[in-house]
Amino acid sequence: MQTRITELFGIQHPIIQGGMHYVGLADLAAAVSNAGGLGIITALTLKTPEDLAAEIERCREMTDKPFGVNLTFLPTVTAPDYPGYIKAIIEGGVKIVETAGRNPEPFLPYLKDAGIKVIHKCTSVRHALKAEKIGCDAASVDGFECGGHPGEDDIPNMILLPRAAEELQIPFVASGGQADARSLVASLALGADGINMGTRFIATREAPVHAKVKQAIVAASELDTRLVMRPLRNTERVLNNVAVERLLAKEKTMGEDLQFEDIFEEVVGVYPRVMEEGEVDAGAWSCGMVAGLIHDIPTCRELLDRIMAEAEQIVRDRLAGILG
């Protein structure tokens, strides 16, 4: 299956593993790339640019296929060492970067001068058009279903993807609600050039997270996520647990008086405890509604091989049969 995304990134399958905090390490990125997709290392999970450089080298030892690095630009007072991370990416020979968060324009010249292809994560058509205008090579269009931050427009992919296809000239992938061959074929039909999977890749054998996290995703249904931090206009879709219920109760009680400091206990420093220690109720952690479609924990190769085989079957048998 060849699309503009496979051609742009030099990959076999139009499937990208999105950046995920404390998940997107070399183990998973290499496994996805070796299976024919595009693996992504999450830069800010690594504490320093030197740590990122070491992780890039570790990934190179595990795969000779293309892989990328996610660099999320956070709206914080004390910014991470972005120039240092970019230097590590360039010197590490990485040729694909997934940007997310705030506008990446100030950093694009450094990436583009190094011959790096940039795909920017967007939750709206207007943001995707801005990414196209400033010179990004592709966009990852995130529907309201997605785990993590879906933006504030609440547009699901059945509407968002065809709208993006109407407006964009650059290739784009569908993100949010992606788990299997049905997701891939539907996204292609709606105008996307591939898919970006996050939650689905957490529930794989190679994902470097605690078994309890994977089991929690498999056990969850499509009804088990919640939207938190909506009053702060920093909406995040997370898997429901006791800490999330406590957070939501604070939001309801405090209303417009809610400050970020009021929910520190539920959101700050949570990921190491959840992903590494398996404390799945420690706080709010990102998970998509797509958990309802995840029923097993395969290897990345088993997952991608299955998706591609079933996608071909859907196109050749089911869809062609309908036409016949």
Does residue 75 register a pLDDT over 80?
A: no
User: pLDDT tens for residues 34-71?
Assistant: 999 999 999 999 999 999 999 999 999 999 999 999 99
Q: What token pair was written down for 290?
A: 């797509």
Mean pLDDT of all residues in 131-157:
97
Report the share of the chain in percent with pLDDT over 90.
97
For residue 11, the Cα-to-chain-centroid distance in whole angstroms is 17
Domain locations in the chain?
4-208, 221-286
Listed residue (31, 64, 119) closest to 304, CA to CA: 31
pLDDT per residue as tens digits for the range 119-128? 999 999 999 9
Which residues have C-beta within 8 Å of that of residue 118, sequence separation ≥ 6?
Answer: 97, 98, 99, 104, 108, 111, 112, 135, 136, 137, 138
Query: 226, 220 in Cβ contact below 8 A?
Result: no
Residue 139, phi then psi, degrees to nearest 5: -130, 150
pLDDT tens digits, 194-215: 999 999 999 999 999 999 999 9
**Measured on CA atoms in the order 34, 57, 25, 78, is the torsion positive or negative?**
negative
pLDDT over 70, % of the chain: 100
Q: Which helix (H) or strand (E) holds 89?
A: helix 82-91
- Average per-residue pLDDT in the chain? 97
The answer as to CATH 3.20.20.70 being correct for domain 4-208 is yes
Strands 225-228 and 236-239: antiparallel
Q: Where are the beta strands (DSSP E) in 151-290?
A: 172-175, 195-197, 225-228, 236-239
Write the pLDDT tens digit of every residue in 92-108. 999 999 999 999 999 99
- The average pLDDT across 252-268 equals 94
pLDDT of 124 reads 97
Split at pLDDT 50, 70, 90, the class of 324 is confident
| Averaged pLDDT for residues 158-174 | 98
